[in-house]
């Protein structure tokens, strides 16, 4: 027996029309090289309607990929809606990719047009000839004083010449592709994740739920996380759905610029990778950030010490979320629950250092990477975190990498290894490929890094495996000393000794200037492994002892 | 081009398994005749699993309708999950219906089994022979000392004898029927609304969004609204999804019992029809209700004065929501928005007296009942409120009443008439069938009632049309005086004079002991119209003047 409810598809067209109809008075603010500009949603919506016409005029196919090579701006938000609301597919290109990756991705996705912020033209222009399917480049002038190649069109001119689309946007099938984003894999070619309208809508609803971001009409949201990175964690669509005010940082992503915008606009929710919050921490002194109610952080495990510093200096800790391009990205969130209230502040900091509980309608299981057995949620057993749900990828675009990354029963292998407690609070231990196998036992490099980063004189730390004759692999700690501090290898080991099992202690500590990062701000251990490839150590005499 | 996201259906099985896995430590509290009992979600989940086996053992068909004739209890919540998670259809029977309606509904839905609270057995037993498809009656002992017919089974015995279902519940198609509920129409036979898993899931997600109920794991929720009335506004499924603590009032629905439970359990969210909050208001004096953050109210328009009294005495106003059985029921909510902050307290009270903004993914339009034209959102033009969305009914069970209640393009005619401002805040003016057509112009009876109820000496008021030779129809005010007060017809008219157009002033005022109510607590104007059928008045000399 079937239900008798209306067959209304879950599509982003509703998000657009709702924002246009009820939230026309709300603001979209964007910082640019030549100052800050503010537009109302009503004005923005007319521009989206004009842009819809422009896409037609440019001859973009009915389901053509619309590439964007842009910062976080209100204009990027126009593309976020105009492409999917007209049945096209928004393809956000990562501006930090290596040129060859960028070329590969645009060709693989068969982008027909690329919209590019003028300040980014110098990155894109040299590659233009290699982008085989791109017929049109459209430059969005952000005040940057850089030359534009001949034949590239001007965004504002196109919009001014276009009649606004007059009707209601309709996408009939909620499984229609809405957007795509390539994963910045550290090995192999990038792989395309294709979001559907259904997945984008459900994910947006999750951003509104109280125990996730809890986005409300009253919020003022500044997404530091790039809009080319997994939909900026769903913040843009979520804000439109909730009617929240949006503040976009534009090209200037310095900590100085961010902290000023947070203060000036009385931002309530912001989100970005740990590096951003590390850089901003020293600048929060004397700033009025009292409107902030949530500092979202993801992309890499958040050091406990960083979150604690924010709690002490800014008044709220960092809220950790975990996910990846393949998970839209919200999979888990560490919003504290009522059973944590009885804990000490110190214990609560431990909870906040976890990646948190699965969001509603995300299924998570922990699977032993060796045996394939599902592990219990006892906070001891570790396993690869596998995810299932309506906004989790089932395969990559054009079927690539399928066998390795998806299980036979349709779950995503996230490549992260962790434990989970009985309340579902996941704790990341490592990436499967970064796990250090010492004498047949796993050492979690992320766990070890977190302990090292708890040292007050350590800014960042990455732990990698180095070959060992006796133990096969042993940990090497690569440590970045905090500015103005000095610390020795012995001090690090001494600090770790009461905190980890004896056989987990790194065999060596190397001091480095910075941890190399991938294009989305994650630790690039591949680079470190290359650098320290020849390292030789003996390792401990046994695996016993705590 | 299609998205490449996992094909995971939106089903209530996820709600069950999520609650069982992560929220096993949370409580479900139920008050009964013999005291209060508390169970954990973990214990509750085992009982749901046993109940799943019981449904099999009783031979209920794969998609059989499982009738419930129950109060708000934790055991009713077991049925709420066990039926849909096994593919069956939960059919909540309204215990306040007339016997002939009840018989009609159970037969129309073809209920195979009815679960009945022992205290309600006296209402159901006399009808048992007429329930043609019901093969089994199961009595849930709630401590009431009433006889049980021979052959009726005992709930606890059945559960004790059943092995808990051991696996994962699976419902493959999200459009499968999950639950049904009949509308208590004041004319014609009741009509069945059939909810799908998809609609129930999406509606549950909405209850978690910040600007709707904002249900969080931290909430303690007491649904006064009956679980046999439109899924108790989605609170039970929403609470399970969020992990909120649930407190169920059981058979004792007196204001005394409710206010005590609200205080004792430090309830944060409660919901019920206006009558409940009217009755409870005098009892709030000296009670510690400081944990309350939301008093939800719906079913009838909430008198402005009632909400204001709560704001003054309890510290929070009533939050109005609007919807009906056909809308699952959340359609609009009057959560105040940021643009209301600049208003005076008095203006904000006006906003709160509105039914509010459409929830995400509910489309609302106002349609002129005479011309069929869609009206602007200018807060002046009135129209019938029509609704569309994934949790709005598309037709009634077995296709009944279709033509009248659904438009050709698939929208629900709600039968409510209202206006909407540019922020989407709907204001109910009347029911289409209660509109008073005086001299070719509409008078909104609900609007007039609200004005009368603003009089400090008036408890309740209902306005109905009475025949007029000159004007066709004219308004008659039926007024219930507040306890211990006296007021004259002249005082009422005098009070109204500066508040409404002159031609809206009632031609007569009748004082009555109480406004007759339907089985779900709505004003029954049908009863009043029958009572005052022969009323004759002359009406005003003209329609001019303010």
- Taking chain A (546 residues) in runs of 10, the rounded mean pLDDT of each run is 97 98 98 89 98 98 98 98 98 92 96 97 97 98 94 98 98 98 77 97 98 98 96 97 98 94 98 92 96 93 89 96 96 96 95 96 94 94 96 92 82 94 93 81 85 90 88 90 92 92 90 85 84 76 60
Contact B390 A6 (CB under 8 A): yes
* CA-based nearest residue to A28, from A68, A73, A81: A73
Tell me the sheet residues that pair with A546: none
pLDDT greater at residue A187 or residue B214:
B214
- Smallest Cβ–Cβ distance between A7 and the set B195, B208, B394 belongs to B394
What pLDDT does residue B401 have? 65
CB distance A335 to A356 below 8 Å: yes
From A3, A18, A339, residue closest to B195, measured CB to CB: A3
Q: Residue A446 in 3-state DSSP? A: helix
Distance from CA of A3 to the nearest CA of B (A): 4
Of the candidates A63, A210, A394, the beta carbon closest to that of B216 is on A210
Chain B residue with CA closest to A402: the answer is: B4
pLDDT band at B546 (very low <50, low <70, confident <90, very high): very low
Q: Do B395 and A1 touch (CB under 8 A)?
A: no
**Token digits for B143?**
């401590």
- Report how far residue B77's alpha carbon sits from residue A122's, in angstroms, rounded to the nearest whole number: 62
Q: What is the ipTM of this complex?
A: 0.90
First to last CA, chain B: 59
**Range list of H helices, B4-154:** 12-22, 41-57, 74-85, 99-109, 121-124
- Write the pLDDT tens digit of every residue in B483-517: 899 999 999 999 999 988 888 899 999 999 999 98
Query: Of the listed A183, A207, A268, A419, which one is catalytic?
Result: A183
Spatial separation of the C-alpha atoms in residues B258 and B38, rounded to whole Å: 17
What number of other Cβ atoms are within 10 A of residue B502's Cβ?
13
Q: Are the beta carbons of B393 and A337 separated by less than 8 Å?
A: no
Residue B313 appears among annotated catalytic residues = no
Mean pLDDT of chain B: 93
Per-residue confidence band for B463, with pLDDT thresholds at 50, 70 and 90: very high
- Residue B299, pLDDT > 50, answer yes
- Specify the residue for token string 């109480």: B514
Catalytic residue among B20, B78, B174, B326: B326
Q: How far apart are CA A229 and CA A184, in angstroms?
A: 10
Average pLDDT over residues B178-190: 82
User: Is B355 a residue whose pLDDT tops 70?
Assistant: yes
From the list B5, B18, B377, the residue facing A390 with the nearest CB is B5
Residue A282 token pair: 């020293």
Q: Does the pLDDT of residue B140 top 80, yes or no? A: yes
Residue B545's pLDDT is what? 46
Please give, rounded to a whole number of angstroms, the shortest distance from the CA of A216 to a CA of chain B: 6
Active site residue A437: yes
Please say if the pLDDT value at position B244 is more than 90. Answer: yes
Question: What distance in Å separates the CA atoms of residue A330 and residue A334, rounded to the nearest whole number?
Answer: 11
- Angle ∠(A9,A14,A20) on CA atoms, nearest 5: 170
Question: Cβ separation of A338 and B217 shorter than 8 Å?
Answer: yes
How far, rounded to the nearest angstrom, does the alpha carbon of residue A460 sit from its chain's CA centroid?
A: 19
* Residue in chain A lying closest to B196 (CA): A3
* pLDDT greater than 60 at residue B231: yes
Domains of chain B in start order, with CATH, are 7-210 (3.40.50.12780), 435-531 (3.30.300.30)
- State the best of B5, B202, B338 to mutate against chain A, taking most chain A CBs within 10 Å: B5
What pLDDT does residue B216 have? 98
- Range of weakest confidence among A34-48, A89-103, B201-215, B296-310: B296-310
| A6 to B394: CB separation less than 8 angstroms, yes or no | yes
Active site residue B437: yes
> CA of B200: how far to CAs of A350, B63, B206, B244, in Å?
36, 17, 10, 17
Using the beta-carbon criterion (under 8 Å), do B217 and A178 form an inter-chain contact?
no
Closest residue in A to B402 (Cα) is A4
Closest in B4, B194, B208 to A4, CB measured: B194
Name the helix (H) or strand (E) containing A493: helix A489-496
Q: Do A358 and B216 touch (CB under 8 A)?
A: no
In chain B, what residues touch A337 (CB-CB under 8 Å)? 217-218, 243
d(CA B544, CA B469): 18
User: For residue B522, how far is the Cα from the chain centroid?
Assistant: 10
Question: In chain B, which residues have their Cβ closer than 8 Å to the Cβ of A412?
Answer: 6
Distance between B406 CA and the closest CA of chain A, angstroms: 11
Residue B530's CB is within 10 A of a number of other CB atoms, namely 10
Which residues on chain B are in Cβ contact (under 8 Å) with A7? 394
- Residue A187 is predicted with a pLDDT of 60
- B475 contacts B435 by C-beta, under 8 angstroms: no
Provide the residue count of chain A. 546
Tell if the CB–CB gap between B242 and A14 is shorter than 8 Å.
no
For the segment B47-63, what is each residue's pLDDT rounded down to a tens digit? 999 999 999 999 999 99
Query: Do the Cβ atoms of A392 and B8 come within 8 Å?
Result: yes
How far apart, in whole angstroms, are the C-alpha atoms of residue B393 and residue B200?
12
Nearest residue to A511 via CA among A452, A448, A468: A452
Q: Residue B526 class from Cβ within 10 Å (0-12 exposed, 13-18 middle, 19+ buried)? A: middle
- CA atoms in the 13 A half-sphere facing the CB of B192: 27
Choose, from A209, A263, A313, A442, the residue flagged as catalytic: A442
A510 classed as catalytic: no
In angstroms, the CA B283 to CA B313 distance is 10
């Amino acid at each position: 027996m079937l239900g008798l409810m209306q067959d209304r598809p879950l599509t982003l067209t509703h998000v657009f029309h709702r924002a246009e109809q009820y939230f026309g008075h709300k603001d979209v603010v964007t910082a640019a090289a030549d100052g800050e500009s503010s537009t109302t949603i009503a004005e923005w919506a007319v521009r989206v309607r004009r842009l819809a016409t422009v896409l037609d005029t440019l001859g973009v196919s009915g389901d053509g990929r619309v590439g964007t090579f842009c910062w976080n701006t209100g204009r990027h938000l126009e593309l976020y809606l105009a492409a999917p609301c007209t049945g096209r597919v928004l393809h956000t290109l990562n501006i930090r990719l290596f040129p060859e990756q960028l070329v590969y991705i645009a060709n693989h996705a068969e982008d027909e047009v690329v919209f590019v912020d003028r300040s980014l033209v110098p990155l894109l222009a040299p590659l233009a000839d290699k982008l085989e399917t791109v017929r049109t480049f459209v430059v969005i002038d952000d005040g940057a004083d850089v030359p534009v190649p001949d034949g590239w069109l001007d965004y504002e001119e196109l919009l001014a010449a276009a009649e606004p689309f007059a009707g209601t946007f309709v996408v009939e099938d909620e499984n229609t592709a809405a957007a795509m984003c390539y994963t910045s894999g550290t090995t192999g070619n990038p792989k395309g994740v294709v979001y559907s309208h259904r997945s984008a809508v459900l994910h947006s609803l999750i951003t509104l739920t109280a125990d996730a971001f809890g986005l409300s009409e009253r919020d003022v949201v500044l997404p530091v996380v790039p809009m080319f990175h997994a939909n900026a964690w769903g913040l843009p669509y979520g804000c439109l759905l909730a009617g929240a005010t949006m503040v976009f940082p534009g090209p200037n992503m310095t900590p100085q610029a961010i902290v000023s915008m947070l203060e000036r606009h009385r931002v309530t929710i912001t989100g970005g990778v740990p590096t951003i919050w590390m850089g901003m921490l020293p600048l929060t002194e004397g700033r009025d950030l009292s409107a902030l109610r949530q500092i979202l952080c993801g992309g890499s495990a958040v050091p406990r010490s960083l979150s604690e510093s924010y709690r002490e200096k800014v008044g709220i800790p960092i809220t950790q979320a975990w996910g990846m391009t393949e998970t839209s990205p919200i999979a888990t969130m560490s919003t504290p629950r009522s059973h944590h209230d009885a804990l000490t502040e110190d214990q609560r900091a431990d909870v906040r250092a976890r990646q948190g509980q699965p969001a509603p309608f995300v299924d998570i299981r922990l699977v032993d990477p060796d045996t394939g057995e599902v592990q219990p949620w006892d906070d001891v057993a570790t396993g690869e975190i596998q995810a299932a749900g309506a906004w989790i990828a089932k395969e990559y675009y054009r079927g690539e990498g399928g066998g390795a990354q998806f299980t036979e029963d349709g779950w995503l292998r996230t490549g992260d290894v962790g434990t989970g407690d009985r309340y579902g609070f996941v704790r990341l231990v490592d990436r499967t490929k970064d796990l250090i196998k010492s004498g047949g036992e796993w050492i979690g490099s992320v766990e070890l890094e977190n302990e090292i980063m708890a040292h007050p004189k350590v800014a960042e730390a990455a732990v990698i495996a180095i070959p060992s004759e006796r133990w096969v692999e042993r940990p090497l700690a690569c440590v970045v000393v905090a500015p103005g501090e000095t610390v020795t290898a012995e001090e690090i080991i001494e600090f770790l000794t009461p905190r980890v099992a004896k056989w987990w202690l790194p065999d060596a500590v190397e001091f480095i200037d910075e941890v190399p990062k991938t294009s989305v701000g994650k630790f690039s251990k591949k680079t470190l492994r290359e650098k320290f490839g020849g390292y030789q150590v003996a390792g401990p005499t046994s695996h016993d002892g705590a």
